Amino acid sequence: MPSRPRAASEIREAFLAFFEKRGHRRVPSASLIPDSDPTLLFTNAGMVPFKRVFLGEETREYSRPTTAQKCMRVSGKHNDLENVGRTPRHHTFFEMLGNFSFGDYFKPEAIEYAWQFVTGVLELPPGRLHVTVFREDDDAFGLWRDRVGLPESRIYRLDEADNFWAMGDTGPCGPCSEIHYDFGPQPHCTNPRCNPACDCGRFLEFWNLVFMQFDRDGAGTLTPLPKPSIDTGAGLERVAMVVQGVQWSYETDLFRPILLRAQELSGCALGGDAEKDVSLRVVADHARAVSFLVGEGVLPSNEGRGYVLRRILRRAARHGVLLGLEEPFLHAVCDSVIDAMGGAYPELVDRRAYITDRVRHEEERFLETLSKGLSLLGEEIRAVKHEVGRAGAVLPGEVAFRLYDTFGFPLDLTEDILRGHGLRVDQEGFDAAMERQRERARAAWKGSGDVAVSQVYATIAMDEPVVFRGYETLRLEARIRALLSGGAPVERARLGDEVEVVTDQTPFYAESGGQVGDQGEIRTATGRIQVTDTQRPVAGLVVHRGRVVAGEIQRDAAAQLVVDAELRQATVRNHSGTHLLHAALRQVLGPQALQKGSLVAPERLRFDFTHDTPLSQEEIERIEDLVNAWIERNAPARIRELPYAKAIEEGAIAIFEEKYGDVVRVISFGDFSTELCGGTHARATGEIGVLKVLSETGIASGVRRIEALTGQGALAYMRAQERALRTIADLLRAPPGELPARIEKLLEERRALEKELERLRAERRGAASGDLLSQVREIGGVKVLAARAEGADPKELRAMVDELRARLASGVVMVAAEGEGRVALAIGVTPDLVGRFRAGELVREVAQVVDGKGGGRADFAQAGGRDPAKLEEAIQKLYTLVEGAA
Ligand SMILES: [Zn+2]
Ligand SMILES: [Zn+2]
């Protein structure tokens, strides 16, 4: 008998091993980013990855899984995040241990397993265990009393709010039963009937059994499920508290090493100051969440998951400042999270450099905004103080929210600072702004999609999964199982109809993993469908989308399915090319260049990856050279089905945010590329022909995109480039090799010509000005010149006015030009006369004559007008004006 587990890692392993021994399949933790539920921001319970199985929309090859699942809970109740660090067991990231039964065992086994584990393996004293059941669940009550032998005094019947679980308003639901640990009477509890429902902290619920036994319909009626299921959840942090005998989860070994690092970095010891203790705990909790989120490819942003990450990360950074840390430090705490959790989650270790780099980067950005936020707050405080008496000593809620939202200031920080100035925050205004923000956040990630249509798909998919045979063939005979038009099932489709076709098997690849859906034809004895896209709207279902181009199509007909081989082959080249590109990027840039997404279509490929700086031309060429050398080697593809863990052990690259089953498809080319991938691939790298990078751009902070072409596409591209080059060469009558020198020479000549042109223009202006000087009049001792300067643009008018002013030394000058139905005027006054004549005023009056407007300074002004016929009148007007003033 091994000694009882004490460390959290031992508890985790003992749990999984215990259930494995009882016929359960050990399934690796699914991603924190749920792929099965678009309404959910994060996986927040162990059952989430199995939700579709419980709903009957998906089947697995096992009926008893056991998992240790990564979970995140952030939003929800008001100020949820603000509680973290202040309460004994509030967390953002946590782990849920679970054993599940999909219509296999039920209450007796679930209760017995739980009891055996907590008393037999964990060796918890039975006398400290209390259980709760749903008020009406006599079965569970009886099982605890008779089968387990628990005295009735330690079995509590609670009502629906506490002990009834439902997946949603409708669907699977049922009673629960919880196991609580009794830490003993709490000195501060005044409740004479202190029991598991009391919130004094004496009792800790650490194990929850959910008995899914009903289906609830829209009217609220409960119908027993034919095969009831089990979902259990035991928070690892809580189990560790019970086993290690501590009432704060931060005192378990899950948090101790992380807290230790935070204390070392800050020089603040736990237990010294209550507020600093809170900060240390916040940092420890948030560092776990941040490490896992970044490790799963989430990047800080202003919406959806990225927004949650940014809030948590900045909150942690801010608490670092409260601990006296002025430099980025959180990445160092994350490093200790990776040490502590890497054993159970090796992906953290693989991505260590990436995670700490990203966290550091975001910390640096925040520290920059922090001082800006502080100065904004300073200004607002001054403004509020200035208005005291009128608005009262209250900081507008909007301002507090902006500090919170844009600069990452928690409300309590703002309040602290305000308190020192005798001010407070308009809490209602802050809450209102927060609520508006929540609405925006909800809208940002809420999944859309037509529920009715997805139910139609789910119903079809449930019959039996569509068999995909497109790896081995491009054409086959099949039966049309369903025809959909406008999302509704139909019996037949006529010429011209847009339809969706479901068959019992298909060679068409449905869009997934970045590879687009196949195109081709479906032919029956009575008609033909042109397939333009193939999709998999729900697991197990392949839908061919297209239009009836001949005859009509009937449901149940025998059909021949033919994939467009040329397009498929082009897609295959691009997909295998993408794998080589990925491998080459990692070789040239390092392993932190991770795939963020890809698009593989017949005509092109696109690859997004994490990297901070633009690639140099030299790096791009090295990548191209590597890929093309691998293509030349003509390495054959090796395709295997392996257990996930084995594939990862062999170095296969798994992609962020992808979900993988227990058995995965592994594609290898030579010894240079191994990836988990369900796509279609070349038989050997030689089929790719050639790979050419077209462009490399940034698409988001820390994410770059490469677009490339392979095979014929690359050839066509190079030809187009060559053709363009040849056209240029023809135009310049020079061989391509001499083009750069020739173009440089042309540019030089052009610069010389421009200079010459400017010189000639100045000369012409000089001559024209000279001519104009003969028209100067003297009015009351003032030299006045008003004249036309044909063909001059406003810039030239200005130059002419300057020149004439200089030549006159003293006087008032106006030049005007007409063109394209408009008039342009410029008036200048020499410095000695600006006391008597103001150019701005003169131009306004003159411009009125030609139906225009203008203005300017006292010594120079310009105007435009719409009536060239009156230009002569306008010239006379200037003389009149000077005469009037002289
Ligand atoms: Zn109590
Ligand atoms: Zn792939």
Q: Facing residues of 50 across strands? A: none
Separation of CA 625 and ligand 2 centre (Å): 21
Please enumerate, as own/partner, the contacts of 114-118 that have beta carbons within 8 Å and a separation of 24 or more. Answer: 114/179, 114/207, 114/209, 114/232, 115/148, 116/18, 117/15, 117/18, 118/179, 118/207
C-alpha span between 627 and 431 (Å, rounded):
55
pLDDT confidence band for 450 (50 / 70 / 90): very low
Taking residues 412-429, report their average pLDDT: 79
Neighbours of 412 (CB within 10 A): 12
Separation of CA 576 and ligand 2 centre (Å): 7
Residues in CB range of 163: below 8 A, 6 or more apart:
132, 133, 134, 135, 137, 175, 176, 177, 178
Residues in CB range of 843: below 8 A, 6 or more apart:
825, 826, 827, 854, 855, 856, 861, 862, 863
Separation of CA 629 and ligand 2 centre (Å): 20
CA 166-168-174 angle, to 5 degrees, is 15
Helix, coil or strand: residue 479: strand
Helix, coil or strand: residue 816: strand
Q: Are 208 and 239 in contact (CB under 8 A)?
A: no
Nearest partner of 180 among 159, 218, 209, 160, judged by Cα: 209
Separation of CA 664 and ligand 2 centre (Å): 12
Phi and psi at residue 244, in whole multiples of 5°?
-90, 0
Q: Which ligand is nearest to the CA of 674?
A: 2
User: Could you tell me whether strands 691-700 and 703-710 are parallel, antiparallel, or unpaired per DSSP bridges?
Assistant: antiparallel
* Pair of tokens at residue 22: 């009882």
Q: Which ligand is nearest to the CA of 185?
A: 1
The reported pLDDT for the residue numbered 228 is 92
Instruction: Kindly state the percentage of the chain with pLDDT values over 90.
Output: 50
| Cα 573–chain centre separation | 29
Tell me how long the chain is. 886
Half-sphere exposure of 815 (CA within 13 A, CB side): 23
Separation of CA 61 and ligand 2 centre (Å): 24
Phi and psi at residue 534, in whole multiples of 5°?
-130, 130
Nearest partner of 527 among 505, 540, 510, 546, judged by Cα: 546
Chain segment 829-854, per-residue pLDDT in tens:
999 998 889 999 999 999 999 998 88
In the block, tokens 């027993």 appear at: 224
Q: Which ligand is nearest to the CA of 184?
A: 1
Q: Are 92 and 84 in contact (CB under 8 A)?
A: yes
C-alpha span between 175 and 165 (Å, rounded):
6
Q: Which ligand is nearest to the CA of 513?
A: 2
List the single range of 287-296, 405-414, 537-546, 849-858 with lowest mean pLDDT: 405-414
Residues in CB range of 780: below 8 A, 6 or more apart:
882, 883, 886
Separation of CA 617 and ligand 2 centre (Å): 26
Q: Facing residues of 528 across strands? A: 523, 550
- Of the two residues 792 and 381, the one the predictor is more confident about is 381
C-alpha span between 604 and 53 (Å, rounded):
37
C-alpha span between 70 and 12 (Å, rounded):
12
Helices 274-295 and 304-322 meet at what angle, rounded to 10?
A: 150
Q: Which ligand is nearest to the CA of 182?
A: 1
* Pair of tokens at residue 34: 């749920």
Ranges 106-120, 210-224, 655-669, 837-851, most confident: 106-120
Q: Are 308 and 299 in contact (CB under 8 A)?
A: no
pLDDT confidence band for 470 (50 / 70 / 90): very high
Which residues are in the CB-under-5-Å shell of ion ligand 2? Answer: 677, 679
Ranges 2-6, 166-170, 481-485, most confident: 481-485
Has residue 221 got a pLDDT over 70? yes
Where helices occur in 396-496 by DSSP H, the ranges are: 397-406, 411-419, 427-445, 451-463
C-alpha span between 180 and 239 (Å, rounded):
10
* Pair of tokens at residue 456: 């139609």
pLDDT confidence band for 449 (50 / 70 / 90): very low
Q: Which amino acid is residue 719, in one-letter code?
A: R
Q: Which ligand is nearest to the CA of 192?
A: 1
Where helices occur in 269-426 by DSSP H, the ranges are: 274-295, 304-322, 330-341, 346-350, 352-386, 397-406, 411-419
Separation of CA 112 and ligand 1 centre (Å): 28
Our CA dihedral for 46, 48, 49, 54, rounded to 10 degrees, sits at 110
Instruction: Kindly state the percentage of the chain with pLDDT values over 70.
Output: 93
Separation of CA 403 and ligand 2 centre (Å): 44
Half-sphere exposure of 86 (CA within 13 A, CB side): 8
C-alpha span between 695 and 832 (Å, rounded):
62
- Provide the sign of the torsion angle of the four alpha carbons 385, 391, 397, 401, taken in this order: negative
Q: Are 153 and 130 in contact (CB under 8 A)?
A: no
Residues in CB range of 841: below 8 A, 6 or more apart:
none
Separation of CA 203 and ligand 1 centre (Å): 8
pLDDT confidence band for 591 (50 / 70 / 90): confident
Separation of CA 459 and ligand 2 centre (Å): 30
Q: Which ligand is nearest to the CA of 637?
A: 2
N-term to C-term CA, the chain? 118
Q: Which ligand is nearest to the CA of 189?
A: 1
Q: Are 693 and 624 in contact (CB under 8 A)?
A: yes
Separation of CA 50 and ligand 2 centre (Å): 25
The reported pLDDT for the residue numbered 418 is 83
pLDDT confidence band for 220 (50 / 70 / 90): confident
The reported pLDDT for the residue numbered 147 is 93
Phi and psi at residue 225, in whole multiples of 5°?
-75, 140
Has residue 63 got a pLDDT over 90? yes
Residues in CB range of 344: below 8 A, 6 or more apart:
9, 12, 68
Q: Facing residues of 166 across strands? A: 173
CA 661-663-669 angle, to 5 degrees, is 110
Separation of CA 577 and ligand 2 centre (Å): 9
Q: Three-class SS string for 141-188? A: HHHHHHHHCCCHHHEEEECHHHHEEECCCCEEEEEEEEEEEECCCCCC
Helices 352-386 and 397-406 meet at what angle, rounded to 10?
A: 160
DSSP letters, 248-292, are: SGGGSTTTHHHHHHHHHHH-PPTTS-HHHHHHHHHHHHHHHHHHH
Has residue 77 got a pLDDT over 70? no
Separation of CA 744 and ligand 2 centre (Å): 45
C-alpha span between 466 and 539 (Å, rounded):
9
Q: What is the largest CA-CA distance in the chain?
A: 125
Separation of CA 476 and ligand 2 centre (Å): 24
C-alpha span between 309 and 81 (Å, rounded):
12
Taking residues 561-590, report their average pLDDT: 94
C-alpha span between 243 and 785 (Å, rounded):
102
Residues in CB range of 803: below 8 A, 6 or more apart:
765, 766, 769
Mean pLDDT of the chain: 88
Chain segment 511-556, per-residue pLDDT in tens:
988 899 999 999 999 999 999 999 988 777 899 999 999 999 999 9
